[in-house]
Amino acid sequence: MSVLAVIPARYGSTRFPGKPLATISGRPMIERVWRHTAAADGVDRVVIATDDERIAEAVRAFGGEAVMTPESCRNGTERALAALDVLGGDAEIVINVQGDAVLTPPWVIGSVPMAMKADTDIAMATPAVRMPPETEAKFRAAKAAGEVGGTTVVFDKAMNALYFSKAVIPFQRNPDAGTSTWQHIGLYGYRADTLRRLVALDPSPLESAESLEQLRALENGIPIRVVAVDYRGRSAWSVDAPSDVEEVETIIAREGELVP
């Protein structure tokens, strides 16, 4: 069962132009994500899908494989499909790894293809991590202060997603119930036919309201399996703005490299 991992990398970020090439502790950000993805179990091939030759050149310089995709791709999902088509479309599973997730461990990335290989009924999968109380408290405080970043998810007893939200869900009216809050990790696995179906669909109302692409799948009856993961004591952080680089470098200095 062939698994293709695609890392979409766009140069023209509004908040952080050239973000994939930003240097983090001596390496371009895109190289760090590529190394973590290449080290993940269950992944057969890793490509960086871009629309900018500067990124493609940098990828080739560190030994990665770059695929040129149309500038018209509106999001990472469309770019992942474009990469699949450029490469011939023969992969059975496509893993879409966010290019700014520089601290996502290889075992978290690998959890998705391994789950999909183990259960051929899974059409689409994504990981989530249970928030410890101190992390949840900080997360809720950040949301109360107006921060948009970070997504939570709730799922049924079979681990199929019920809803994703930028709000903190579920609402804890009864904290003594012991219900955990799960943070969604923004990478996705698709069967190739599911990816094509998803891209062909129009944006959905809840997707537009929350600006969360995965809600398009749920609104159209495409189930998403949530894979519970453990960061094993590692910190999670993504690079959304230039100010995040220093924070990520501090974490790397404290916790060490994920891949030597």
Taking the C-alpha atoms of residue 216 and residue 205, their distance in angstroms, rounded to an integer, is 8
Taking the C-alpha atoms of residue 173 and residue 241, their distance in angstroms, rounded to an integer, is 34
Report percent pLDDT > 90 for the chain.
78
Inform me whether the pLDDT recorded for 1 exceeds 80. Answer: no
pLDDT of residue 238: 78
The mean per-residue pLDDT over the stretch 108-112 comes to: 98
Taking the C-alpha atoms of residue 173 and residue 213, their distance in angstroms, rounded to an integer, is 28
Give the helix/strand (H/E) hosting 195: helix 192-200
* CB 9 within 8 Å of CB 75: no
Encoded tokens for 112:
């998705």
Residues 193-209: tens digit of each pLDDT: 999 999 999 999 999 99
Taking the C-alpha atoms of residue 220 and residue 204, their distance in angstroms, rounded to an integer, is 8
Q: Is 150 exposed, middle or buried (0-12, 13-18, 19+ CB in 10 A)?
A: middle
**The domain made up of 3-255 is a member of CATH 3.40.50.460:** no
